[in-house]
Amino acid sequence: MSMVSAPTPYLEEFFKIAVPYIFPLIGVACIVEPYIMTDYAPLLLGTLMILGGIYSHLEAIRHKTYSELANVDMATSLMMVVVGSIILFKRDNAIEFMGYVWGLLGIIKGARLFDQSIYYAYIKQKWLLKVFWGIANIFLGVFLLIDPAENFSHHVVILGFELIAYSAQHLNVPSFLMNKLKEIKAFPRK
């Protein structure tokens, strides 16, 4: 089966730069100055959701994920573009909306982690950590749904840690650091 080539070079380049360099900086800013970052959250998250949704949608087309009924890549990417657009449209009044969306997504993610933990327990693999993260995601999601405007800044701090962890995961920090150490050792000293 041949792959359909989608015109995504600009977005691919953006994510090659954003994930290892821009996301960690935004993550640190979210941790250090959550209230200031809350003010900029609609612009940042709305834009990132739209760009991420477009990129994911084009990748889904390129990899023909629509050929499997159970795959939801195209639906998820379309949802990201729509929600990101609403956030940008509501910009000054988007925090409460973002809190509701973020809370619902947290509960959905927690429920999926529960599903995965049951599956991993069934096939006798490590599952306890998934249960813990599932409970944490559901708890944080409920916390946001109860009072999204009041609890949003706390979640910005969590977002900061998530952005740093996501970047480290995709940058493959251990091998990146080892390569840098090898470069330093290979560099002749005076």
Question: What mean pLDDT do residues 36-55 have?
Answer: 88
Least confident of 44-48, 60-64, 152-156: 60-64
121 exposure class (CB count in 10 Å sphere: 0-12, 13-18, 19+): middle
Residue-range domain boundaries for the chain? 9-172
Query: What is the structure's pLDDT at 82?
Result: 94
Query: What is the structure's pLDDT at 4?
Result: 41
Query: What is the structure's pLDDT at 73?
Result: 72
Q: How many Å apart are CA 33 and CA 174, to the nearest integer?
A: 28
More confident position, 175 or 32: 32
pLDDT(172) > 70: no
**What are 159's two structure tokens?**
């977002």
Least confident of 32-46, 122-136, 176-190: 176-190
Query: What is the structure's pLDDT at 182?
Result: 64
Question: What mean pLDDT do residues 181-190 have?
Answer: 58
Query: What is the structure's pLDDT at 168?
Result: 75
| pTM (predicted TM-score) | 0.69
What is the Cα gyration radius of the chain?
19
